[in-house]
Structure 1
């Protein structure tokens, strides 16, 4: 290698900065090869967002423009009572508050009958929920969704009262009103948001007109109050009205009545509630009676029969005690098979069984007693409620008789009051109508039907979701690329390990491990065979100064294909030399399994231990000699570290031109480090896109620390076609013709990219 420039050299510093900078081209290649996945995810998210936004009910906004002016009051006393004076912003703020007042909202709700509109009426919304509940109940057999119970539907049918509905609709409508002043002018926009565009238009206009009418009514009411206060001469009508009211009050005091209507409604409500409670009590008594009859019918059979009643059997404590008894009985059965009848363990188990049975019996009796008590309480509750219903009926009849007399007196009072108010109105008609022009607001622009909803903004939402999906997809793609810290190309191996790549082996699909071990001799996959020959040539050329007689093949972890590389490499060298293949993985041997050696075939462990001879352990398979691992020893490391193993290697080295040793993984055990001390050359196998770079660096570092002759790296199981799509190339390592020829003959062979 060339000596690097000094740190002070500006050219060297610039090169370092460029090398440390992010590889924008590689990032772009990563994004480009994942472009269809990114675009697909973006389109899916945009489609889902579009469907979600189109499922949202659109909201329309209708706007009415009002002009609010200050005016001089014609009747000073009325204006003082009304309190409409004010200047500047305070006056306008007061008018804005009146536009959003509850009274004005109630007026619009009544005018447009919003309590019966589907958008506001909670009863119609509950009906839709009940319909959904029926749909869910039809699907209850396939999904664990609880169907609505009849009593729930009955409660939903009762629903809230008219007053509650009106209050809820009013609050809902108030929440949809917004007041927006137009600049610094006296114009103000009254806006109403609704899902129904036509209704929103009507509501905005009704709100503006109602505000104006409320101003007029307020002035008129103040005039009437002032006129009534000033007309103190109306004593005769007032006296007559007072006498009628006194008679009504006297009757109420005599009969001790406060509010006949309220009492009647309370009694009716109480009767209705008591009737409902009696129905529930009758149902509860029927259920308790059913369980009670089951108990009475089973009582003659003892507590075992009582335990079979569903109400008892389904109790959690009964199930627990039954489980305890079953375990105790199983233990007695198990111990009775192993010990005698008087064995202490068996007697203890029987004692536990008796205790469990006694506990179960006691719990059964408690639950049965509880069922009987529940039945008695249910009967008593039903009788009590029945008596209460009869009492309420009698009370309501009594109240009805008194109500008739009260209403007759009230009609007399009301007639006198109408005469009195009519007379006062006629006298002061001129005064009352004098302030009709006192309304200080008028409609400038009435609301028109909105053409488009204000939300949701579907185009903007879909566009933003697409942008976010695109950015997220690109970020996830780059993050996954960064997190995939494995070897994906020969350049990665050479840059990260500073070792030459002897060759690559293509990924073989749909083949067993034993089939791949014979793949070179069968020559079924031309690309694989040519790759093995390439590795063989690289090893021969690297040993020109001194032949590599002892060749050790290892890897970082199990499953990276080192045994396959060793076997096929042995066959490749066997075409030119006398080769011996040794399975030195004494912990997880594979040679005997791949080549179907008979069970009990002696091997390396037997040779080192001295329990077998060399000729008995050597097996010739398809032109090469092999020594399997033999019997798996309890101390593999001690055997490989022994003097007998070193002498065995020297002996085999004299008999063969090349000895290839299949070593255990370097990160799994220390055996590979011991075997490396006997090697003339060492091959490090790395699985493409699987072996972590730090793990391989650690393994190679361990070998180099012991001065092991690491010759090079074999990149195994490379999906060449996939790698080519990802922008990786293997020129110089892969034979073009060896790869392309078998594609038509063997479609199941590994698919790779052309070198």
Structure 2
């Protein structure tokens, strides 16, 4: 049993902690809350529907007449003049424009004049009855009285009657407010709807709008056609003058520049420029080659003709090769003869002469070739310069021809543009003049409006259904709001779910006009069988909770005063005494003592405070009442908590435990003072009392949490003052906690 109690304590602490974070929504609880107030909800819905029906019956019905038009996106192209006066409809913007024209004020004014709506009783402000309460005039008079507090009513000027223009303006605005233009999907059809209380007039107004729209389109077309004709006549003269001026400028320029075949001249010059460019490229290449050879010659000139003879351009020459061969043979001959003869020998002298002649011939040929290289370089440079000058001259000539050609084409384009404009305006003018009397419209009536049979408003059935639904939603919302605001314990399931503690008993509400002292002794007197059976159920739960280790010191507490903990303490003590136990009832609420009053003891009877203070003995404080020993609170001390925490309280409890089987301790509320926490720490069991549909859930959660955190042995909860009849009516059940409710309910019904 100790393990079971420890498990219950841990689950209770966890449940209290989780309850602070939030609770899941129980749909069954919501339905029960709604069902409890079903008649109130039904009454509110019925009253709302009846009031709405009365209001709807007082409202005049409104009829809607509908005429259907088809608006073509493009006007009939008898004359292709749309670009001139804006009838080119090639998109959604065109249809939107036509819809806005149907809603325009000018069209509405046309219908108002045609149907003479300014004299109709539905629109004429002079024929309409005055409102029962004119807030506007009331406020204006109020402001006027504040500004001129001493002005008498007869001194104020009479209200000026509205003029015809003002009446016409009001009627037009009122009529425009009753017009609806509705496009029909992705088609060219549009519905023109007019809402009025007069059904025949509504049909006439819808047809008048449709016809007026078509006529206004025709009138606008004719007016724009005439305006376009007049404008084009004036514009045509200007274009003719501009064309002549452009032709004269073109001819003058041709004569001035002697231009006959600009394209041919430009072609010949371009061909010459191309050939000159090719030749200049060849000349530049030749000049580069000659310049290269010339540079080599210049670099070798200081080394003499022998150095020049080593140049590739010189060595590659055929004559140079022959002369070099002859010189080599002569030199070889000299060397050969020098081995046999002396320098004076005739053969040696002849050989020396041949060598000198060969060397002189070679030198002369080298110098001749070098001179040829210099001449080739000078010719190449001169040729390149000549070709470049010719190329530049051809290029300048082409640029000059291009400028003249550009100017010529500019003048030709100007002439062609002016001629095209002139011919276009001439053709359009002829077309417009030929068809100026032809009327064409881009809209026509598909279905004319007929007199409506049924009104569109007020829709009685729909409005009543919406009012009923709204009233139902509001009433259900109010019910749930009231239920949410009533955050109390109503059923045993609430205690078990929110506190995770067992319910030891459920005590019914005693409706008889009895004083509290009578309720405290109700079990002993046995005048209410249902109440007595409920106390027995609570007693049985207490005994079963202490089968392994009987609970001797039992503390009974609650969250707030007036929850019935003292009455429960007295009745539970009587029930335990009926079992044969020696029971002691102790009033530990020394701040607001109750037991002395309940048992009608005289004022000043000594009790627990006197024992702890040492002003009275235990025997002087004990009273035997209804088979139960009672110790009252005694004289109210200034420091009750200090007395409970004193060194005398615990030895007193140990002494009392030896003499009694059960000690019932009536403790102060947990939310008022901390006495219950001290008493709970010394108890074997603690019973928490909750007043049904009265004590707020957060208070109980906080109180139980504080006790469990101090390791107080909370074994269960007693739900007190339960209105059984009301609970069963609302669907609450307490079966299993007492057995005589059915009997007592039947008896009361009889």
439 and 586 in structure 1: CA distance in 2 versus 1, 3 angstrom threshold:
same
TM-score, with normalisation over the residues of structure 2?
A: 0.57
8 Å CA contact 1:66, 1:441 repeated in 2: yes
Is 1:730 the counterpart of 2:713 in the alignment? no
* Structure 2 residue corresponding to 1:564, chosen from 567, 579, 585: 567
Q: Flag structure 1 segments of 5+ consecutive residues without an equivalent.
A: 5-19, 138-148, 227-430, 748-755
Whole-Å separation in 2 of the counterparts to 1:509 and 1:474: 31
Instruction: Flag the 1:216–1:573 CA change in 2: closer, same or farther, 3 A.
Output: closer
Structure 2 counterpart of 1:112: 115
Alpha-carbon separation, structure 1, partners of 2:184 and 2:544: 90
1:639-654, aligned counterparts within 5 Å? Answer: 639-654=643-658
- Deviation per CA, 1:217-274: give whole Å up to 9, x if none: 7799999999xxxxxxxxxxxxxxxxxxxxxxxxxxxxxxxxxxxxxxxxxxxxxxxx
Separation (CA, whole Å) in 1 of partners of 2:186 and 2:734: 75
Q: In 1, are the aligned partners of 2:523 and 2:574 still within 8 Å (CA)?
A: yes
Q: For each residue in 1:12-60, what CA deviation from the matched residue of structure 2 results, as whole angstroms up to 9, or x when unmatched?
A: xxxxxxxx99766666666656655555555555555555666655443
Contact 2:577–2:627 (8 Å) recurs in 1? yes
Q: 1:215 to 1:545 in 2, by over 3 A?
A: closer
Partner of 1:450: 452
Q: 1:165 aligns with which of 145, 164, 167?
A: 167
Q: Is the 8 A contact 1:549 1:657 kept in 2?
A: yes
Change (3 A) 1:607 1:170: same
Question: Compared with structure 1, are the counterparts of its residues 222 and 485 closer, same or farther at alpha carbon in structure 2 (3 Å cutoff)?
Answer: closer
Q: Following TM superposition, by how much is the alpha carbon of 1:562 offset from its aligned partner in structure 2, in angstroms?
A: 0.7
Q: CA deviation at 1:121?
A: 3.0
Write the deviation string for residues 44-84 of structure 1: whole angstroms up to 9, x where unpaired.
5555555566665544321223566856889x9xx99x958
Structure 2: segments with no counterpart, 5+ residues: 8-22, 140-150, 229-432
RMSD over aligned Cα atoms: 4.9
Partner Cα distance (1:586, 1:629) in 2: 5
**Aligned pairs (5 A) from 1:124-203:** 124-125=127-128, 127-129=129-131, 151=153, 157-180=159-182, 188-203=190-205
Give 1:699's match in structure 2, choosing from 694, 700, 703: 703
Q: Is the 8 A contact 2:85 2:224 kept in 1?
A: no
Query: Matched residues in 2 for 1:177 and 1:550: separation?
Result: 87
CA contact (8 A) 1:30 1:478 kept: yes
- C-alpha contact 1:219 1:436 (8 A) present in aligned 2: no
Q: Say which one has the larger Rg.
A: 2
Deviation of residue 109 (structure 1)? 1.8
1:129 match: secondary structure: coil
- 1:710 is displaced (CA, Å) by 3.3
After superposition, residues 238-249 of structure 1 pair within 5 angstroms as none
Q: Structure 2 vs 1, CA of residues 457 and 655 (structure 1 numbering), >3 Å: closer, same or farther? A: same
CA drift of 1:554 comes to 1.3
Sort the Cα spacing of 1:154 and 1:460 in 2 relative to 1 into closer, same or farther, 3 A. Answer: farther
Q: 1:100 to 1:534 in 2, by over 3 A?
A: closer
Shift of 1:528: 0.4
Distance of 1:549 and 1:91 partners within structure 2: 97
Q: Cα gap change, 1:177/1:678 in structure 2, threshold over 3 Å: closer, same or farther?
A: closer
The 1:95/1:564 distance shift into structure 2, 3 A limit, reads closer
Q: Deviations over 1:662-687 (max 9, x none)?
A: 11122322111222344343322222
Residues 1:637 and 2:641 are matched in the alignment: yes
> Residue by residue, what CA displacement relative to the aligned partner does 1:479-531 show, whole Å, maximum 9, x if unpaired?
77677654443344445545443322112235443332232233332100111
Of 550, 553, 558, the residue aligned with 2:556 is 553
Q: Given the superposition, is the C-alpha separation of residues 134 and 21 from structure 1 closer, same or farther in structure 2, using an over 3 Å criterion?
A: closer
Q: TM-score, normalised by structure 1?
A: 0.56
1:381-420 matches, cutoff 5 A: none
1:483 to 1:85, Cα distance in 2 relative to 1, 3 A: closer
The aligned residue for residue 537 of structure 2 is: 534
1:686 is matched with 690
